Amino acid sequence: MAPDTATHRSATATSAPSNEGNSWWMRLLLWREKHIPEKTFVVMLALIIGIASGLAAVLLKTLISLISGFLTSRFDPERDNLLYLVFPAIGILLASLYVYYIAREPISHGVTRVLYALALKKSRLKIHNMYSSLLASSVTIGFGGSVGAEGPIVFTGAAIGSNLGQAFRLSPQTLAMLVACGAAAGIAGIFKAPIAGMLFTIEVLMLDLTAGAAIPLITASVAGATVAYVFTGYNVEFFFSQSEPFYASRIPFVVLLGVFCGFVSLYFITLIDRIEGRFKRLRNRWVRFAVGGITLSLLIYLLPPLYGEGYDGITRLISGDVTGIFNNSLFYAYRENTVAVLLFLFALGAFKVFATAATNGGGGVGGTFAPSLFVGVMAGVFFAFLFNHLGVINPEMPLSIKNFALMGMAGVMAGVMHAPLMAIFLTAEMTGGYDLFLPLLIVSGSSYAICRIFTPYGIYSRRLAKRGELLTHQKDRSVLTLLKMDSVIEKDFSIVHPDMSLKDMVDTIAQSHRNLFPVTDDEGMLLGIVQLDDIRNIMFRPDLYRRMQVNRFMAIPPAKVVIGTPMEKVMKTFDQTGAWNLPVIDEEGRYVGFVSKSKIFNSYRQVLKHYTYD
């Protein structure tokens, strides 16, 4: 919801440095606010962000292509090449040096960082994020890093949107909208897929698509895709020609492929998480580089299609060229052997996950978007190839390798990212495979359903969900994520001690405006609480004033909340206990204050008011 003019002008004035009071930029901001309505201005910015993000996508793809082409153009496809043992490690080294000495902060896992900025940083990203991940990832991928360019371009586009919005002193909810516009335009530009760009922001970034948000998102996505078309031609990312029709009799196999892709997605998510966790435990960055570089180089030498994004292998398989994936490998001579093909496809799908984790864990910069596409294609082709040679399929009507490659791509993408709609439309848009819309829908839905049973989060949201920092489409959970314990703790309670007499207790009550009193010892440890209602029957009995002490009528609280507990867990504690107030303690048990439902509800309403762009 856009802020009113007076509030926004005040925010603009306070956020600008004092020496800008009479500058031309401040005059421009005030003129814009007076003459251009907020919603119109956001659409104008969305167009600019879309164009800039589209140009960034084209630049990133061009840099990767130039570096990769220069390094591998003279490789002999019929033999292995020892330079595969060198190039990937060099790429990781260069990227890690750039990150450590120039960027000076982690920039990999771009989509997760965008989610974090939306959740906890008021959609603010740094200026260097507009180019740092682009440069580092182009070197990483160009030299063979087995990661994707989509995460970095999402991060780049989001940073462009964030910084442009910050320059015009826009509100946090408008910044979130512009961040989403940049991310959508990045996806639209890198894949030439404007619909998928929009769906990415809804399913992956979990932005609510309100009436006010639709037009800026459409504008940015179309602008990003248009820029890509202008510079790279009006052609799809992966050329696909459906030479074999899809028959209804194949639907059982399509459902089975969806189930298979669901378990492949689960393998992908789980293993990436565990391997990267192992790398994080290696404190020395040179050790991480050595382990990651050696692992990646060996894998690429043995399985050359793992080099870079793997788009060459994807292109070959969706065109039906299965033997082409053996190029540059030690196993080139076995390309016509059925068992060898199955083993090679299985190895490519299984070890792509290791190669991706080694690239990021070793210091490279890249995303997991392209690896999920690669693994999906391998899964689809492996599935079709296996059934065609098991004798359960009529040899005169085998399963189409090309069609199942496309379906596998959509299936694993849907499961890994928990984004079935985006997977369907992205696959159709970047291949032109609209005739397979029904099987794509079946595979994506089945894969997502299977994966969702075992894990409620996709690969991008999983890390934030573990830390309780994830915003979701569920408004209650999202707003509670934004609320922090420190902002709702009330400390204006009069403290009493267990050895105080009832007379002292009554005197304390007379001076307090609260009806709840924490009981602590001399070290501040919380021992119990006294509620006014519980002692009302003895408050006016002077004969008990000297005879009765606080430790006689204090009560144990129904629950205690440790400071720093996520607000969602706090609310569950309220529900379980039926309490209206709960004491807050530190990790050692010392009294800090109280948290109340009324305070949380008031804060909730304030946050909710600024949560949705309308």
Pairs from 302-306 (Cβ < 8 Å, separation ≥ 24): 302/329, 302/330, 303/329, 303/344, 303/347, 303/348, 303/351, 304/80, 304/81, 304/84, 304/328, 304/329, 305/329, 305/348, 305/374, 306/146, 306/348, 306/351, 306/352, 306/355
The domains of the chain are located at 5-232, 248-473, 477-609
pLDDT of 189: 93
pLDDT at 147: 93
Measure Cα distances from 316 to 142, 220, 231, 309, 430 in Å. 19, 32, 24, 14, 15
* CA separation for the pair 194, 178 (Å, rounded): 16
Domains 5-232 and 248-473 agree in fold = yes
Q: What are phi and psi of 590, to 5 degrees?
A: -80, 145
Question: What is the DSSP annotation of 84-119?
Answer: GGTHHHHHHHHHHHHIIIII-S---SHHHHHHHHHH
Taking the chain (614 residues) in consecutive chunks of 10 residues, what is each chunk's mean pLDDT? 40 42 76 85 94 96 93 76 88 93 86 81 86 94 92 94 90 87 94 91 78 86 95 81 77 94 95 91 91 94 91 88 85 87 94 94 90 95 91 80 92 93 91 86 95 87 67 51 68 90 90 90 91 85 85 89 80 83 89 82 58 52
Asked whether 408 and 443 are in contact (CB, 8 A), the reply is yes
Interacting residues of 251 by C-beta distance below 8 A, sequence separation 6+: 439, 442
The tally of CA atoms less than 13 A away on the side-chain side of residue 149 is 30
Amino acid, res. 403: N
d(CA 251, CA 101): 54
Residue 477 has a pLDDT of: 53
Q: d(Cα 190, Cα 30) in Å, to the nearest integer?
A: 36
Give pTM, 2 decimals: 0.77
Give residue 261's identity as a one-letter amino acid code. C
CA distance 202 to 459: 15
Q: pLDDT value at position 262? A: 96
pLDDT at 456: 84
Indicate the SS3 state at residue 194: helix
Secondary structure of residue 77 in the 3-state scheme: coil
Q: Which fold has domain 248-473?
A: Clc chloride channel (1.10.3080)
pLDDT attached to residue 2: 39
Give me the CATH code for the 5-232 domain, please. 1.10.3080.10
| Architecture of the domain spanning 477-609 | Roll (3.10)
Give the type of residue at 549. Q
Q: How many CB atoms lie within 10 A of CB 546?
A: 11
User: What is the structure's pLDDT at 162?
Assistant: 93
